[in-house]
Structure 1
């Protein structure tokens, strides 16, 4: 079975997190996810994240710190997902591969129809956020 390495960003601003929705032509169309993408051979996850977010959202991010790592079996594909907290340092959001984006309240994240691999990440983010407030 094929395994892909993916990096995703938990981009927080004013107690909200940037989430993106997969476009109709994509696998899992209509599902929400954290922005990011496939890690290229010999690429560091943090570098992948900066590159993918620039390509997909037209913004520059600074990767702050590691959040969590998940391996999820979708049946026909295994995704090894590494997530990092990030912040926007430049640019204005313009989506190119997603059909929508939203700044969601941390406490409301589980109300969105996320990809299954993202759910454990959401729970960790919510726990960490609750511990700071």
Structure 2
């Protein structure tokens, strides 16, 4: 079981979404940015590190949302989503095909990675 964190980063009433690269698993699917929790690392430390490495952003964590357990055909993961606030940094996507700030009301228009869909739905319910 892979443990993964993701950040729902708020800035100016929009959230940051990321499209996976062509050479990544689940190519070109949309997701909330984040990454794998390394051995001995806390979920919060993992998320702050991953967002800095992948996007060059500083964030603060506000609260966790409901964990998602998802089984893809070739791997399983537990996704730990966190509501975050943008604190600084110049956005620079290192791994993703593209990243963009989007209104919560528009999120269902994207082709999401299956594990992220419950997070999108919970987010939309919370911020209607």
TM-score bucket of the superposed structures, by smaller chain? over 0.9
Instruction: Report what 2:11 is aligned to.
Output: 13
**Residue pairs, 1:105-124, within 5 angstroms:** 105-124=103-122
- CA–CA distance in 1 between the matches of 2:13 and 2:107? 12
Equivalent residues, number:
128
Instruction: Report what 1:65 is aligned to.
Output: 63
RMSD value, Cα: 0.7
**Residue pairs, 1:41-120, within 5 angstroms:** 41-120=39-118
- CA–CA distance in 2 between the matches of 1:66 and 1:86? 9
Structure number with higher strand proportion: 1
Task: Report the 3-state secondary structure (helix = DSSP H, G, I; strand = E; otherwise coil) of the residue aligned with 1:68.
Answer: coil
Q: How far is 1:15 from its partner?
A: 2.0
Give the structure-1-normalised TM-score. Answer: 0.94
Instruction: Point out where structure 1 has 5 or more consecutive residues left out of the alignment.
Output: none
Instruction: Point out where structure 2 has 5 or more consecutive residues left out of the alignment.
Output: none
- CA–CA distance in 2 between the matches of 1:83 and 1:68? 7
Shift >4 Å, 4+ stretches: none
Q: How far is 1:14 from its partner?
A: 2.0
Instruction: Report what 1:24 is aligned to.
Output: 22
Task: Report the 3-state secondary structure (helix = DSSP H, G, I; strand = E; otherwise coil) of the residue aligned with 2:117.
Answer: helix
- CA–CA distance in 2 between the matches of 1:21 and 1:59? 17
- CA–CA distance in 2 between the matches of 1:68 and 1:47? 18
Task: Report the 3-state secondary structure (helix = DSSP H, G, I; strand = E; otherwise coil) of the residue aligned with 1:98.
Answer: coil
